[in-house]
A and B are shown apart, each in its own frame.
Chain A
Amino acid sequence: ETGVTQTPRHLVMGMTNKKSLKCEQHLGHNAMYWYKQSAKKPLELMFVYSLEERVENNSVPSRFSPECPNSSHLFLHLHTLQPEDSALYLCASSRWGDSSGNTIYFGEGSWLTVV
């Protein structure tokens, strides 16, 4: 139990569907992240939110739409995805602006399969 909870753990969706991934953190952090991990590839940073403002969009296609309504919740809205978007999507959180090399805590991930 890392304090970062992701739902659903597994999702299968068609290319024309609209779905959302949800992340909730119980650590009192003020920064949240979405990472993508495809098979046999390193983790890739997708989005970063600090104090509910998006501070990074790492050239992610618009079919992925993040939302951060408050510092404890982060969503990733998905629509018209492609099969190559099938991957493990990881949410993470941390304290923003800590210059001592602060730790990032990850959830267990949501396995997404696009058919």
Chain B
Amino acid sequence: DAKTTQPNSMESNEEEPVHLPCNHSTISGTDYIHWYRQLPSQGPEYVIHGLTSNVNNRMASLAIAEDRKSSTLILHRATLRDAAVYYCILRDVRSSGGSNYKLTFGKGTLLTVNP
């Protein structure tokens, strides 16, 4: 699986935008970029995913570099509830061997939101 690199931790203030970076220089053309987050004492939850174009949903935006070697998760206005570990994960969705189901988690970025 292609690897991702994220900062160990980041800090933000409430009501301000947060840009969480992810480097994935060995990404392949069939890798989707997924973001999940894990709030304290809970299981991970899906945030957003994309392939080449930037994506928006009610939770966040995903900005993907033109060469796809990096991406940024954008929380437009951080709230205290957004304090979590954010995981950037690559998923190869080729169906060979059924391996497209795998989510391989790294250490993620611990986001602290200050009131």
Interface residues of A (CB under 8 A from B): 2, 4, 31, 33, 42-43, 45, 48, 50, 55, 90, 92, 94, 96-97, 99-101, 103-109
The reply to whether A101 and B93 contact each other, CB–CB distance below 8 Å, is yes
The reply to whether B104 and A45 contact each other, CB–CB distance below 8 Å, is yes
The reply to whether B44 and A42 contact each other, CB–CB distance below 8 Å, is no
Interface residues of B (CB under 8 A from A): 32, 34, 41-46, 49, 51, 91, 93-95, 98, 100-108
Q: Please give the distance in Å from B101's CB to the nearest CB on chain A.
A: 6
The reply to whether A104 and B100 contact each other, CB–CB distance below 8 Å, is no
Q: Please give the distance in Å from B28's CB to the nearest CB on chain A.
A: 13
Q: How far is the CA of A94 from the CA of B93 in the complex (A)?
A: 14
The reply to whether B101 and A96 contact each other, CB–CB distance below 8 Å, is yes
**With A42-B106, A45-B102, A96-B101 in contact, do A101 and B32 touch (Cβ < 8 Å)?**
yes
The reply to whether A2 and B32 contact each other, CB–CB distance below 8 Å, is no
The reply to whether B51 and A101 contact each other, CB–CB distance below 8 Å, is yes
Q: How far is the CA of A108 from the CA of B44 in the complex (A)?
A: 8
The reply to whether A108 and B43 contact each other, CB–CB distance below 8 Å, is yes
The reply to whether A109 and B43 contact each other, CB–CB distance below 8 Å, is yes
Nearest chain B residue, comparing its CB with the CB of A42: B105
Residues of B within 8 A of A55 (CB): 98, 101
The reply to whether B42 and A103 contact each other, CB–CB distance below 8 Å, is no
Among the listed A94, A96, A109, which residue makes an inter-chain contact with B42, where contact means beta carbons less than 8 Å apart? A109
- Give 11 A-B pairs besides A43-B105, A105-B46 with Cβ atoms closer than 8 angstroms: A4-B43, A45-B102, A45-B103, A45-B104, A90-B44, A94-B101, A96-B98, A96-B101, A99-B100, A101-B51, A104-B103
Residues of B within 8 A of A45 (CB): 102-104
The reply to whether A101 and B45 contact each other, CB–CB distance below 8 Å, is no
Q: Please give the distance in Å from B57's CB to the nearest CB on chain A.
A: 11
